């Protein structure tokens, strides 16, 4: 009655050669054996006043041809409102900041900026949403600290999104709002199919296509 389409997926994949999507920023890892696991969550609500949201946390372990092993965490979460509520935006980023500050106060401004820059449609010259957190190649602390931070990001996502969903699930809307929602969802589709590294990684590693594309909304409009 609230979520039009939502998915939560777990993946655990292995391979002899890291695909191009994973070595884009790490050319030294080309030809490495890899193991990757992650949890992804995407929610497309029915009510246009509830934002679409996405979260992902993941762990990569790569073994270079010389036997050296490299690990890193990645992930984050972002919010895509169709009708902006300033209070929601403030609360979303307050939870994001509190999550980061428990590990290091310098993380929030860095990962917020990274999120803003990553979820950006260059061909439209516009942001996909209001951002949140995004990080990759995260291994600047010891393994236990990095793992704890990544797990905290997953829990913070629930804390940040649940009040927003609850607040707006009974907001009135009609056909006009649903049409606009479908139009804006088109931007979501464009980003995921053109830029998203997670989508590319899943397809390049031979993952289950239906699971990889669960992030796409069920109803969308491309008006001219």
Give 171-215 pLDDT, tens digit per residue: 999 999 999 999 999 999 999 999 998 888 888 878 788 888 889
Phi/psi at 211 (5° precision): -70, -40
- Choice among 12, 25, 44, 54 that is catalytic: 54
The per-residue pLDDT string of the chain (224 residues; one tens digit each, 9 = 90 and over) reads 999 999 999 988 888 877 666 656 677 777 778 898 999 999 999 999 999 999 999 999 988 888 888 999 999 999 999 999 999 999 999 999 999 999 999 999 999 999 999 999 999 999 999 999 999 999 999 999 999 999 999 999 999 999 999 999 999 999 999 999 999 999 999 999 999 988 888 888 787 888 888 899 999 999 88
| Tens digit of each residue's pLDDT (9 = 90 or more) over 109-130 | 999 999 999 999 999 999 999 9
Q: Is 12 a catalytic residue?
A: no
Measuring CA to CA, which residue among 221, 149, 168, 194 is closest to residue 53? 168
Pairwise CA distance, residues 148 & 153, whole Å: 9
Give the up-direction half-sphere exposure of residue 161: CA atoms within 13 A in the CB hemisphere: 25
Question: 138-171 burial string, b = 16+ CB within 10 Å, else e?
Answer: beeeeeeebbebbebbbebbeebbeebbeebeee
Sequence-distant (6+) residues with CB within 8 A of 191 are 119, 121, 128
């Amino acid at each position: 009655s609230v979520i039009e389409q939502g998915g939560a997926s777990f993946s655990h994949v292995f391979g002899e050669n890291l695909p191009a999507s994973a070595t884009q920023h790490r050319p030294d890892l080309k030809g490495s054996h890899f193991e990757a696991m992650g949890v992804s969550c995407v929610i497309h609500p029915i009510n246009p006043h509830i934002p679409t949201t996405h979260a992902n946390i993941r762990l990569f372990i790569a073994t270079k041809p010389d036997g050296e092993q490299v690990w890193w965490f990645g992930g984050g979460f972002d919010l895509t409102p169709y009708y902006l509520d300033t209070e929601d935006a403030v609360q979303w980023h307050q939870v994001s900041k509190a999550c980061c500050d428990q590990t290091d106060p310098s993380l929030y401004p860095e990962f917020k900026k990274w999120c803003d820059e990553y979820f950006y449609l260059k061909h439209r010259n516009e942001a996909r949403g209001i951002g949140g957190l995004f990080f990759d190649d995260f291994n600047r602390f010891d393994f236990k600290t990095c793992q704890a931070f990544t797990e905290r990001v997953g829990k913070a996502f629930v804390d940040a999104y649940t009040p927003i969903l609850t607040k707006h699930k009974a907001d009135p809307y009609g056909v006009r709002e649903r049409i606009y929602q479908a139009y804006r969802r088109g931007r979501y589709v464009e980003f995921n199919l053109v830029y998203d590294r997670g989508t590319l990684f899943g397809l390049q590693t031979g993952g289950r296509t239906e699971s990889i594309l669960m992030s796409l909304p069920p109803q969308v409009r491309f008006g001219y």
